[in-house]
Structure 1
Amino acid sequence: MSEHPETLLTFPCRFPIKVMGPAGRGLESVVVEIVSRHVADVDETAVSVRESRGGKWIAVTLTIEAQSKPQLDAIYQELSAHELVAWAL
């Protein structure tokens, strides 16, 4: 075992993916579509959406059962590359 583990997470685990982007442009469905390519059973009821105070932005949170760090890395890489995603945490 290395002195500096690659991650502090123990897999599998519940993991919230948080994404922010412009409101009214279909970001919620984009997030579900991208995550579905990497996660077998995406629970669409596990999606929450919050609008910014001014209504210009939305924050989408989707909690998944993460299986590995490479899986999370692939999800974040694809989300970050999408034009509607301002940031992903």
Structure 2
Amino acid sequence: MNTKFDELLDFPCPFPFKVLGVADDALVEQVVAVLQQHAPGDYTPTTKPSSKGNYLSVTVTVTAQNKEHLETMYSALGQIELVRVVL
């Protein structure tokens, strides 16, 4: 990835990931499991269903150590089958 995270953020820093995916009970668990692999911690995700209930937004704040750490987490979250967008 060619991002400018290192220019825009002072590491380490809290970073909120917003993951949009298919409304499935497993989505939240899968998102937290991936983040635990890369940044172990005690996470309390917040969720919000779409207006029609087809999609679910999951927001989790993690402590990012550096640019590469953030990019790795973005890539890993994007590989979850239920995920459509990672912001």
Q: For this structure pair, what is the TM-score category when the shorter chain's length is used for normalisation?
A: 0.7 to 0.9
Quote the RMSD (CA, aligned, Å): 1.6
Q: TM-score under structure 1 normalisation?
A: 0.86
Sequence identity of aligned pairs in percent? 38
- Whichever structure has more helix as a proportion of its residues is 2
Structure 2 unpaired stretches of 5+: none
Conserved in 2, the CA contact under 8 Å of 1:7 and 1:69?
no
Structure 1 unpaired stretches of 5+: none
CA distance in structure 1 between the aligned counterparts of 2:77 and 2:5, rounded to whole angstroms = 25
CA distance in structure 1 between the aligned counterparts of 2:7 and 2:81, rounded to whole angstroms = 28
**1:1-89 superposed matches below 5 A:** 6-41=6-41, 43-45=42-44, 47-89=45-87
Letter in 2 for 1:64: V
Conserved in 1, the CA contact under 8 Å of 2:74 and 2:86?
yes
Letter in 1 for 2:74: Y
> After the TM superposition, which segments of 4 or more aligned residues of structure 1 sit over 4 Å from their partners?
none
Aligned length: 84
Conserved in 2, the CA contact under 8 Å of 1:14 and 1:66?
yes
